Amino acid sequence: MADKKITQLTDLGSALAGVDLFHVVVDPTGTPINKSVSAENIFNHIPTWLGLAQTSQTGITGDGSTVSTINVTSAVTEVNATSAAAPCQMADGAPGQIKMILNTSTGGTNNVVVTPANLAGGSTITLNAPGESVICIFKASKWYVIGGHNFAVA
């Protein structure tokens, strides 16, 4: 194994376990030392803030009647209901997936009404005004609301 380049190693795919190890170079600008760290320690002790480099789903603009589809392939969806209400639908996600939906309207009080295929505790999520948001996690075959700002579940 020592004679292989990292790019020649077999891809683990999605089978990462908490005890699996990552190679880390400590102090690369000073005196570099090779060390290892477990996947569990990386994800349970993140030493800095997290950012999503993925582009948000945009382009959903309310016209009052067309039902738009919120994708489950991006972490964030921005919906603009400045001109009219924006009814939306959302399919089931993957287990553990987190989805954020933002009402990016610039004015007015047109509703963004999201109807997930399966929602725990209701059937719709409503964002009534600019700046409102909702965060959901997909578990046990349903979307569960876990946070946000001024959303309503009905």
pLDDT confidence tier of residue 62, bands split at 50, 70 and 90? very high
Q: Give the three-class secondary structure for 7.
A: helix
98 or 24, which is more confident? 98
Residue in the block written with tokens 């309207």: 105
Residues 22, 9: Cα–Cα separation, whole Å: 13
Average pLDDT over residues 120-147: 97
Average pLDDT over residues 133-143: 98
Average pLDDT over residues 46-65: 90
Q: Determine what percent of the chain is predicted with pLDDT higher than 90.
A: 72
pLDDT of 37 reads 92
Do the Cβ atoms of 141 and 120 come closer than 8 Å?
Answer: no
Look at residue 93 and tell me whether its pLDDT is greater than 70.
yes
Average pLDDT for the chain:
93
Residue 42: both structure tokens together: 């990386």
Residue 30: both structure tokens together: 């000073």
Strand partners for 26: 33
pLDDT confidence tier of residue 1, bands split at 50, 70 and 90? low
